[in-house]
Amino acid sequence: MVSIDEVRSQVALGNRILANERVLDAFGHVSMRHPADPNRYFLSRSRAPELVEPADVLEYDLDSNPVKVTDQRLYAERVIHGEMYKARPDVMAVVHHHAPAVMPFCISGVELLPVMHLGAVIGPKVPMWDQYDEFGDTNLLLVKPEEGASLARALGQAPLVLMKGHGATVVGSTIQELVFRAIYSCRNAEYQFAAHMLGKVMPLRPGEVEKSAQINAMPTSSFRTWEYWSVRLEKSGGGLPRRAKKPVGRSAKRASVIRTTAKKTKAKGRKR
């Protein structure tokens, strides 16, 4: 079973990868369900995704309350995550984002379609959720449990849902699958938009979506892409901070000499 330390690292890494790949910016957030307790999940304190560290990742119950009392600032929209986990027992990771690639679809109402084989990760039909339908005029943030529950109902069994004038929420069975799905749904949106500029969009056929999705769901796909995006993150200088190393060089040697001298002095004292 994955350790809690590893969960915190994966949540932080998922945030940083999606920021590096321009799915997340200063806003948006990634969470992961507790590997041993389905009624808990892990989400960072309120911080820009590119800066999230394992130590920032807190544990929440499904009502989106921190398990331990904290004075840290929390994401206002954390109910999105708690309500998704309530509604979908199969979901192990969630991301909410406002990627530039999907925003034209959230604004125009044009249907997001699977147009290339990797784009099959969006499924045959992407639902659109309009907060106004149930809650009237709002500031478009999801801060109430009933708003998060409404979004989860709109998602249904789909892999992602678009939110009118707001962004998208994506789910996955692992954090690796989540990142794969979030990135390639955005690539698919970019290609659909570009194809529309040329004058014609030819979406995948239902059978093509089904067969392509099966290939995309294979562990080799998520492993290969996770490794690739992790290396890109490291090369960009945005990887997770490394633990401080022990002192080296002259300072370390001096410390070693002091310790050795102290031990010899103590030993001579006992012989006397």
**6 tagged catalytic:** no
DSSP 39-81: TEEEEE-S--GGG--GGGEEEEETTS-BSS---S---TTTHHH
Q: What separation in angstroms does the CA of 63 have from each of 86, 154, 184, 186, 240? A: 9, 19, 30, 29, 29
Q: Which of 77, 83, 147, 177 is catalytic?
A: 77
3-state helix, strand, coil in the chain (%, to 5): 50, 10, 40
How many Cβ atoms sit within 10 Å of the Cβ of residue 14? Answer: 27
Burial of 82 (0-12, 13-18, 19+ CB in 10 A): buried
Is the Cα dihedral 6, 20, 79, 84 positive or negative?
negative
Q: What distance lies between CA 184 and its chain's CA centroid?
A: 14
* SS3 category, 21: coil
| Catalytically annotated residues | 77
